[in-house]
Chains A and B, each alone.
Chain A
Amino acid sequence: MSALSQAWSRAERRLDRWFPAGTNPLVNLGAIACLLFAILLLSGIYLFVVFDTSVSGAWNSIDTLSRQQPVPGGWLRSLHRYAADAFALVTLLHLVREWVLGRYTRFRRVTWLTGVPLLLFMYVSGIGGFWLNWDRLGQYSAIASAELFDALPLLTGSMARNFLGVDSVSDRFFSLLIFVHLGVPLLLLFGLWFHLQRITRPAVWPTRALSVGMLAMLGLLAALWPVMSQAPADLATVPSAVPLDWILLHLHPLAELLSPAIVWALIGGVLLLLLALPLRREQALPVAVVDADNCNGCRRCVADCPYAAITLEAHPNGKPGRQIAVVAAERCASCGICAGSCPSATPFRSARELVTGIDMPQQPIGALREQLELALAGAGQGRVVVFGCDHGADLRQIDDQRVAQFSLLCIGLLPPSFVEYALRNGASGVVVVGCAQGGCAFRLGERWTAERLAGTREPQLRASVPRERLRMIFAGPGQEWRVAVAVEELRGVRAT
């Protein structure tokens, strides 16, 4: 972990205090972006119904809406605008987060690469929206955009010439402007589908609390500070001072300050950088390995794999109807969440050597059982066992002879039966540590583990296991104290 990504993680864990139980907005930026996009589509449909698509009527139709129908018309209009601003900011933050946390290579490469065009579509849709009002701001933005385009050696003739007409722009050209604001968002929707192809159960809706919070925030802003049109566009004069939307329209002043050519070079440079970033060669990670003799095709790993890396195929043993899990290497995140889901991964099996249906070569379940047995043997009796992960609280910092700690690839790798096995073998208690609620460093690992321990997801921790001797907590890097507190609590239970 680089210093930057560590600082980001710490900031995120700090924000957990205000947004507990997986409602942290920094962990849900992709989902918030989807919510904002949905708000934009719905409010946009309403606006389009009342919108007059002719040059002469456009301004009037929107201005009248704001003045004569403040609710819901004017309010929806303001909501549409503020949601667009929020969408831009949240998407940018989503990108920055994935970048800072280094989440753009290997199994995330395709997701990252399909995200980049979305950024472009978002900008174009946002800028295009201002044209439709056809007020002074729309006029400024449309002409500035045309002048920017004219700097590209693509088109013959001049796009900006369309705005010379002292009377008005032609209706035909105005239809082109409208098309940009209808067509590009559809491209965005389509691109989003690609973006989420390699993600199992993508979080496209934020938690209820976050959705309500975002909606209330935007709704209040739109009600208290409604967006109003500027004066209608007038091509005979320059809109010399405009109240600019800096969040979406900053490229226009930038092109004036530098030059259109430099702005294009900047845009091209940023896009190239974003596209080149994930192409860096990385050392390949170990891939989950399936053992044919121990896989009965039960499908649990398929359901739990966060990156849709597992499919079922016909079993090589040739028995009719039998299936086997097959892992697509390029999609595998090396998280081990599949190993934690496999019914064969139980330490109670009598085989001397524990081989599971699906396993991680660098951290096999069989080796984990041996290490656990070793830690609880002899003088190890009565120790508290802590299962954590490499991405959360640093378990090496626990300096206590009476604790046996195991840092896993992901907490999702832990088959729940290991909790019972540890207690039966003399552990005084078990602490299971997820790195962040709702914010697994892979995806979903902490959620599946919590559900397996609670008995609401297969494989379940058996109901007979005394729950007072088990703690499931969340502790990220820098929150090692939480683990210490949980250990102390378990000792307290034991003492009384």
Chain B
Amino acid sequence: MNKISIWIGQGLLYAAFAAVIGIFSQWPSYQHLAPERALVKLSFSHQGELLGECVEQSLEELAKLPPNMRAPKRCPRERSPVSVEIDIDGVLAHQQVAQPSGLSSDGASAVYQRLEVAAGAHRIGVRLKDNARSEGFDYTLEQDVTLAPAEILVIDFDSAHKRITLQ
């Protein structure tokens, strides 16, 4: 092999490697969401209501307990699961029951769900139940929204003010 063909050969190989890097580090463009589509993100982290009421302990019951555990009330820590339903334009789009986290089921229930919709006007209905002992849903919200292409609508639950929010 003479020097010139070595130079040409090496040049070709380096150029090919550079081309692979240069091209595939940005091409082809990835269509993550189709044009004219928008996204609804349902996401909350909410602690359901306590499953049971606190019970007053009778004197006999207290007497059976070791002295350091003699609290006048016994409160179960377990939380209700949180159920949620989403309607989009009157059609059920998502339904989920989120179990409480934590080993003794005393933590928050977390939900994260993406729902793709066409851009434009929609009627969003949200129903949420966080108390296993109540009848029906504890919180509901119906709202008209207009979504631009690629816009994200976040459905959350504001635990402090106890209400469903759309942003």
Contact status of A166 and B33, CB under 8 A, knowing A246-B25, A247-B25: no
Give min CB distance, B63 to chain A, whole Å: 38
Contact A238 B33 (CB under 8 A): yes
Give min CB distance, A250 to chain B, whole Å: 9
Known: A164-B43, A241-B29, A244-B29. 6 other contacts (CB 8 A): A89-B20, A166-B167, A213-B10, A236-B151, A238-B39, A256-B32
Query: B-side binding surface: helix, strand, loop or mixed?
Result: mixed
Show 8 A/B contacts (Cβ-Cβ < 8 Å), sorted by A.
A156-B102, A166-B167, A221-B22, A236-B151, A238-B150, A241-B30, A242-B29, A244-B26
- A172-231 residues with Cβ-Cβ distance < 8 A to B are 213, 216-218, 220-221, 225, 227
Q: Determine whether A20 belongs to the interface, using a CB cutoff of 8 Å to chain B.
A: yes
Task: Look across to chain B and name the residue whose beta carbon is closest to the beta carbon of A25.
Answer: B13
Chain B residues within 8 Å of A243, by CB: 26-27, 29-30
Chain A residues within 8 Å of B125, by CB: none
Contact B41 A157 (CB under 8 A): no
B-side interface residues toward A, CB under 8 Å? 1, 5-6, 9-10, 13-15, 17-18, 20-22, 24-35, 37-39, 41, 43, 45, 101-102, 107-108, 110-112, 148-152, 154, 156, 167
- A116-162 residues with Cβ-Cβ distance < 8 A to B are 140, 147, 150, 156-158, 160-161
Q: Determine whether A52 belongs to the interface, using a CB cutoff of 8 Å to chain B.
A: no
Chain A residues within 8 Å of B37, by CB: 240
Chain A residues within 8 Å of B101, by CB: 156-157
A-side interface residues toward B, CB under 8 Å? 17-20, 25, 81-82, 85-86, 89, 140, 147, 150, 156-158, 160-161, 164, 166, 213, 216-218, 220-221, 225, 227, 235-248, 252-253, 256
A-B contact count (CB 8 A): 123
Contact A18 B22 (CB under 8 A): no
State in angstroms the CA–CA spacing of A81 and B21 once bound together. 10
Give min CB distance, A473 to chain B, whole Å: 15
State in angstroms the CA–CA spacing of A244 and B32 once bound together. 10
Chain A residues within 8 Å of B152, by CB: 235-238
State in angstroms the CA–CA spacing of A166 and B110 once bound together. 19
Give min CB distance, A231 to chain B, whole Å: 12
8 residue pairs, one from A and one from B, having the closest CB atoms: A18-B9, A240-B33, A244-B30, A156-B101, A243-B26, A158-B112, A217-B14, A237-B150
Give min CB distance, A324 to chain B, whole Å: 47
In this complex, which of A166, A220, A243, A252 has the most chain B Cβ atoms within 10 angstroms of its Cβ?
A243
State in angstroms the CA–CA spacing of A466 and B35 once bound together. 79
Contact status of A86 and B13, CB under 8 A, knowing A150-B112, A160-B112: no
Contact B25 A82 (CB under 8 A): yes
Give min CB distance, B100 to chain A, whole Å: 10
State in angstroms the CA–CA spacing of A217 and B15 once bound together. 7
Chain B residues within 8 Å of A157, by CB: 45, 101, 108, 110
